[in-house]
């Protein structure tokens, strides 16, 4: 009986020791994190570099770029890349999308974090590293409060101002870095007969559009009877004030677009260049 008791005690102690060792390996202590060098900091803080890691997150590049678009993180950091210190300079990433001259760049995360840098403070040390959800921004020249996790949107404000709204020169990047609003449009109802139980199921779907509210941009010129809107091809359209109610200047299909919540998408003005209120 005594030998069985010692055996049971040994098994319990072994189990507890094993759990302790696993926990130490899986969850670095504050001392371990404090000892990590800046070069390996992103590895300690959950950056991923093992085979088949889920880097399928989309990261949007918006604002004053040739065409607003998104990238797949796996295209930057292939799943089979196991080289320590994997990263890409923010300047190099922007250059891929034709951005070489800009005033500011803003990075936003899914949980509402925002980091904005002037061009003079974006250097070779401003880098993006792989992260479970999107990307992580880090910069050894910046305080760690700017090391944003889960980057999903990168917005560029250029030096050019190709948009003219109410007589004010601006750009899509500048608008997206200001006050913004979101509208839910193009909704519908989907009905589907499930192959699992043969029952009919239904759900509602829609799309969200984020941008600057036109009435906020034209605050000093309200009210107006109609809008005169010119696009990049030089075509001009007139839009009644009632149809323009709640309008946004947003990015749609990669280009600045006047979104009209009270009209179908066919009435929206794509690749807009100038919006002038008419009293």
Instruction: Give tens-digit pLDDT for 118-152.
Output: 999 999 999 999 887 779 999 999 999 999 999 99
111 versus 247: the higher-pLDDT residue is 247
Number of Cβ atoms within 10 Å of the Cβ of 180: 15
Residues 78, 70 contacting (CB under 8 angstroms): no
Q: Say which residues have a Cβ less than 8 Å from residue 110's Cβ, sequence separation at least 6.
A: 133, 134, 150, 152
Pairing mode, strands 248-252 and 255-259: antiparallel
CATH 3.90.420.10 boundaries in the chain: 46-157
| pLDDT higher than threshold 90 for residue 54 | no
Give percent above pLDDT 70 in the chain. Answer: 77
Query: Whole-angstrom distance between the N-terminal and C-terminal Cα of the chain?
Result: 99
How many Å apart are CA 213 and CA 175, to the nearest integer?
A: 9
Say whether 65 sits in a helix, a strand or coil: coil
How many Å apart are CA 258 and CA 273, to the nearest integer?
A: 10
Residues 136, 150 contacting (CB under 8 angstroms): yes
pLDDT at 75: 79
pLDDT at 77: 76
Fold classification of 46-157 (topology level): Sulfite Oxidase; Chain A, domain 2 (3.90.420)
Model-level pTM? 0.75
pLDDT at 186: 87
């Amino acid at each position: 009986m005594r030998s069985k008791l010692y055996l049971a005690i040994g098994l319990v102690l072994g189990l507890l020791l094993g759990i302790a060792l696993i926990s130490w390996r899986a969850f670095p202590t504050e001392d371990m994190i404090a000892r990590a060098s800046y070069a390996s900091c992103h590895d300690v803080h959950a950056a991923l570099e093992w085979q088949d890691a889920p880097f399928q997150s989309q990261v949007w590049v918006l604002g004053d770029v040739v065409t607003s678009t998104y990238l797949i993180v796996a295209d930057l950091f292939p799943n089979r890349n196991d080289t320590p210190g994997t990263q890409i300079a923010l300047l190099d990433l922007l250059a891929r999308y034709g951005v070489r001259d800009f005033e500011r760049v803003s990075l936003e995360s899914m949980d509402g974090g925002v980091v904005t840098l002037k061009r003079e403070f974006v250097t070779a040390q401003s880098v993006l590293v792989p992260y479970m959800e999107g990307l992580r921004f880090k910069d050894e020249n910046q305080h760690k409060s700017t090391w944003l996790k889960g980057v999903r949107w990168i917005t560029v404000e250029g030096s050019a101002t190709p948009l003219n709204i109410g007589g004010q020169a601006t750009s899509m990047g500048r608008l997206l870095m200001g006050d913004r609003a979101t509208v839910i449009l193009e909704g519908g109802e989907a009905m589907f007969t499930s192959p699992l139980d043969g029952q009919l199921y239904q759900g509602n779907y829609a799309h969200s559009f984020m941008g600057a509210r036109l009435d906020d941009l034209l605050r000093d010129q309200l009210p107006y009877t109609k809008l005169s809107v010119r696009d990049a091809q030089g075509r001009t359209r007139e839009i009644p004030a009632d149809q323009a109610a709640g309008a946004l200047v947003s990015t749609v299909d990669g280009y600045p677009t006047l979104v009209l919540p009270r009209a179908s998408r066919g009435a929206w003005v794509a690749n807009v260049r100038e919006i002038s209120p008419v009293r």
